[in-house]
Amino acid sequence: MHKIVVLALLGSLMACSGRKTETSEAQTNNTTLDTSPDSSAFAKDRQFLQRHHPDLVELKNEDACALICPAYQGRVMTSSADGKSSYGWINYDLIQSGKLLPHMNAFGGEDRFWLGPEGGQFALYFKPGDPFDAIHWQTPAAIDSEPFIRAESSASSVRFTRDVALTNYAGTQFNLGIERTVRLLTKAEINAQLGLETSSLKVVGIESDNKITNKGKQAWTTQTGMPSIWILGMMNASPKATIIVPFRPGAGQPVNDSYFGKVPANRLRIGKTAALFTADANYRSKIGVSPTRATKWIGSYDPANQTLTLVTYDFDPVIKRYVNSAWELQKEPFSGDVVNAYNDGPMKPGQSQMGQFYELESSSPAAQLSPGGTQQHRHVTFHIQGPEQRLNNLANQLLQINLSEM
């Protein structure tokens, strides 16, 4: 989540504080929610989303399940490892209002499709010649408020398509074909990706396989601008939740915390192999890791419910060109970060915020495509519940951290 989102939406999102209580939801709609036989968090989220989006897609494999919304670009709204817990942050207030907001609609969801870059001479969120400020920033409707087409689906997967025409700040028109497939992974696939037997754990794995195709007649180059696939996941924050960002040895700083100004030391602790970033939604902050320091993992841990969240994504450390989304004409427009984490919070003390969430994000390299060429980016989210010792084994192996250090 970038600085612009809070700047541009501070006024319009004052009321959009996220998941409501059951009582508040029922009073607003003058109805009573059905709380039997299942009144779990996931059941309530499913019921709420189905009320507002009857075409909601549910993927299910034993206890593991996920909810996908075609109206919101095929985004994964939430998932559950046990059919009861619900991991994705959902903006109840905004969804039930039925309104569209200027600049961006923060509907929520733990895996959503965006395109980069946001700012700079190749920006997709500013019209040519406009100043880089909150008034002129606008998320393209095709990746914000317009639906993707549901092409096919099964019990464990759903595929969406959409053709989009966008013009960047440099005046280049991009004719993109978008294809997005969301799959609920089997236990065998989860075990293979995690490198660990998970039969004694509650686990859900959701993969989004995202592709963009150059459907125009012009090649995408460093002179025209090259878009990237950008996947962002909003998760429910909690007082003790911590984002874990591993990094490799290499040149340059291990973590970039210059997005909103330096993050206080009590909220960002940088060790030898990983950074710990507070995810309590009480302080607006963002960090990123460059392709020279990133690994292919990022995660978070919430000791309150003993849930470890892991995100992995397509990443080739040999490739260095990632889009830069800074709001300025840039000296290095392809020197951006490959992975990011965001913690929501008030823009200033006492002011409202978007909601009680944090984000885990990944990006594809800049897409240098000839006509007909395709860029692919897979982003996989796992939520794992179980004894802390078992979760610690995973954290050590994939996130380079011991959970006791947190």
Query: Per-residue pLDDT tens for 150-196?
Result: 999 999 999 999 999 999 999 999 999 999 999 999 999 999 999 98
DSSP conformation letters of 203-230: EEEEEEEEEEEE-SSS---TTT---EEE
pLDDT at 9 over 90: no
| pLDDT tens digit sequence for 255-306 | 999 888 899 999 999 999 999 999 999 999 999 999 999 999 999 999 999 9
Q: Give me 149's structure tokens.
A: 């087409």
- pLDDT average, residue stretch 54-74: 97
pTM of the model: 0.92
* Average pLDDT of the chain to the nearest whole number: 91
Closest among 292, 286, 288, 341 to 315, alpha carbons compared: 292
pLDDT in the model for residue 37: 52
Rounded distance, CA 32 to CA 372, Å? 51
Torsion of CA 121, 123, 126, 131, to 10 degrees: -30
Q: Which residue's entry shows tokens 């939406």? A: 9
Contact 259, 288 (CB under 8 A): yes
pLDDT at 24 over 90: no
Closest among 163, 303, 179, 325 to 259, alpha carbons compared: 325
Which of these ranges, 20-24, 179-183, 345-349, has the smallest mean pLDDT?
20-24
Rounded distance, CA 59 to CA 276, Å? 32
pLDDT at 28 over 50: no
Instruction: For the chain, give percent helix, strand, coil, nearest 5.
Output: 15, 35, 50
Confidence of residue 31 (pLDDT cuts 50, 70, 90): very low
pLDDT at 83 over 60: yes
Residue % of the chain over a pLDDT of 70: 91
- pLDDT average, residue stretch 121-139: 96
Distant-in-sequence, close-in-space partners of 402: CB < 8 Å, separation ≥ 6? 392, 395, 396
Rounded distance, CA 146 to CA 406, Å? 40
